[in-house]
Amino acid sequence: MSLNAESTAFRSALEVIRAVEPRVADAIGAELADQRESLKLIASENYASPATLLTMGNWFSDKYAEGTVGRRFYAGCQNVDTVEALAAEHAKELFGASHAYVQPHSGIDANLVAFWAILADRVESPALKKAQVRQVNDLTEADWFALRRELGNQRMLGMSLDAGGHLTHGFRPNISGKMFDQRSYGTDPATGLIDYDRVAQAARDFKPLILVAGYSAYPRKVNFRIMREIADSVGATFMVDMAHFAGLVAGKVFTGDFDPVPHAHIVTTTTHKSLRGPRGGMVLCGPELADQVDRGCPMVLGGPLPHVMAAKAVALAEARRPDFADYAQRIVDNAQALAEGLLRRGTTLVTGGTDNHLVLLDVSGYGLTGRQAEQALLDSGIVTNRNAVPQDRNGAWYTSGIRIGTPALTSRGLGTAEMDVTAELIHTVLSQTTPGANADGTPSKAKYVLDPAVADKISKQATDLLAGFPLYPTITLG
Ligand SMILES: *Cc1c(COP(=O)(O)O)cnc(C)c1O
C-alpha cells in the first residue's frame, strides 16, 4: 500500500525520534491515539492542520532572530525575515489590521507586549522614555524608583474573572495584577450579559488608562463599538484580547460592532484556539502603537520562535481560504445546537445560550460542583473543564460551572445532529452523578458517585459518535 505524504512524514519523524528516545516517540503516538478517542469539548483547544504541525519541526528552531524583519541583532536572518513577514502579511490581510506583530510565544506574552506598548506610549515619564529608546542602562536608581511608582499607579478596567474575564486582565495571580491598579466590570445578575451602562459608570468613576474587553468564558458577543465609545469618553486606551474568538473574527462571523479590529487601539490574541494555528500569540494595532509593539522582544519576550512564526504563516494562509469562513460559522451553529440540546434537557446555561463558540453550564442544578461534574464527565470520555459562573458560591477552585466549546469537534467535522447526541451524553452523566461525602460524613465538593457501568456506557457512545469523524484522517502511524 502506498502511503500519503502526511502519513509518510509523521511515520518517518517518529522513526528518527525513536532511534534516540523511544519513550518520546511512544508518547507522541499515544497522544494521537488519546486525542482521537476523546470527545474534546475544551473551549480553548483545537486541532491544527498537518501542514501547520509539520512546519514546526525543523531547523528554523535553531535560529536566533531578536529584532524585527530587516532589523535583527543576529546575522543570517533572511529566511526568518521571509516567514515572519509572511505571517504578518497574512494576519494584516485576514483581520484588516495595519500592523501585526507575530513574535509573542503565547496569549499571555501578547498581552504583556500590549501593556508595555500602551504604558510606553501613554505614560509621560523621562525614565520611561529612556527605557523605551533602549537606554535602559542609563537609568539611575532614582529613575527606577520613579518609574516603578508611575507604572504601578496606572489603572486597568477589565472583565471580572467570574464573569468570564482572564487572569491577565489585571488579576493577582498574573503580573498584570501587580503592574496595574485594577477594577473589574461584571455582568448583569439577572441576564448574565454585559451591562454597558455599568461599564461606562465604572469607567467614569475609575478613569482607567486601559479598558480591556475580551474573555475566556463569556458565551456572548461583545459590542466593541460601544466599548470604544466608553474608552474614548474617559481618554482610556481600548484593548481587546480576542484569544478565544479570533477564529470567529477571521471567519467573519463577528463583523461590524462585533469585530474588535476596527474599534480597538490594540488587539491581542492566541493563534491556537478557534484560529486553529500553532501554539502562540499575536498583536494587531494601528500605526500609533506599532513601534512600541515591535519592541516586544527583548523588552518582555524571549527570542522569537522562527519555526512557530513559520507555522503561523501557514495557519493564517489556511484561515484566509473561503472554507475557513464556513468552518467558523459551523463552530457557532454547533455551539447553538449544543446549547439548545442542553436547555431542552433542563440544564441551566449562563445567559441562557450562546452567540459564540462556547457554552457555560451552571451544574448546581444537578446538585454538583464544577469539579465533580468535570471528573464525572472525564470518567465518561468527555473532556471539559470546570469554570466559575458569575457570583460563584463554590469559589474559583471547585466552581459551579462547566465550560464547553465547539472549535475542536467542529474541526473533526461533527455537526448539529452530533451536538444533540453530545448534549444527551452530558446530561446523562450529570444527572446520574451524585455528590460524595468526606470520611467524616460531611458533604465533599470534590468526591462524587457515578456508577462505573454508566461511565463505561457513555464512553462507548462517545467513541461511537467520534468513529464517524476520524481525527487527522490522512494520518496512519501504522
Ligand atoms: C487563553 C487566553 C490567554 C492566554 O493564552 P496562552 O497562550 O495560554 O498564554 C489570554 N487571554 C485570554 C482571554 C485567553 O482566553
Contacts for 360 with CB less than 8 Å, ≥ 6 apart: 164, 217, 218, 219, 349, 350, 351, 387, 389, 401, 402, 403
Domain with CATH 3.40.640.10 in the chain: 59-319
CATH of domain 59-319: 3.40.640.10
Strands 237-241, 210-214: pairing is parallel
Give tens-digit pLDDT for 211-235.
Answer: 999 999 999 999 999 999 999 999 9
Report which ligand 1 atom has the smallest distance to the Cα of 272: 7
Contacts for 301 with CB less than 8 Å, ≥ 6 apart: 103, 104, 105, 109, 112, 113
Specify the pTM: 0.95
**Distance from the alpha carbon of residue 349 to the mean position of ligand 1, in angstroms:** 23
Question: What's the rounded Cα separation, in Å, for the pair 129 and 115?
Answer: 15
Question: What's the rounded Cα separation, in Å, for the pair 404 and 264?
Answer: 27
**What single string gives the DSSP state of each residue in 138-180?**
G--HHHHHHHHHHHHT-EEEEE-GGGT--TTTT-TTSHHHHHS
195 is catalytic: no
66 is catalytic: yes
Question: What's the rounded Cα separation, in Å, for the pair 402 and 102?
Answer: 32
CATH architecture of 326-467: Alpha-Beta Complex (3.90)
Domain with CATH 3.90.1150.10 in the chain: 326-467
Give tens-digit pLDDT for 59-78.
Answer: 999 999 999 999 998 889 99
User: Is the CB of residue 102 less than 8 Å from the CB of residue 309?
Assistant: yes
Kindly state the cell numbers that stand for 46. 483545537
**Distance from the alpha carbon of residue 95 to the mean position of ligand 1, in angstroms:** 19
Q: What is the mean pLDDT of residues 319-326?
A: 98
> In whole numbers, what is the pLDDT of the chain averaged over residues?
95
**Distance from the alpha carbon of residue 243 to the mean position of ligand 1, in angstroms:** 6
Give tens-digit pLDDT for 255-306.
Answer: 999 999 999 999 999 999 999 999 999 999 999 999 999 999 998 999 999 9
Residue of 159, 166, 171, 305 best suited for mutating to test ligand 1, as the one with most atoms within 8 Å of CB: 166
From the candidates 36, 279, 447, 457, give the one annotated as an active-site residue. Answer: 279
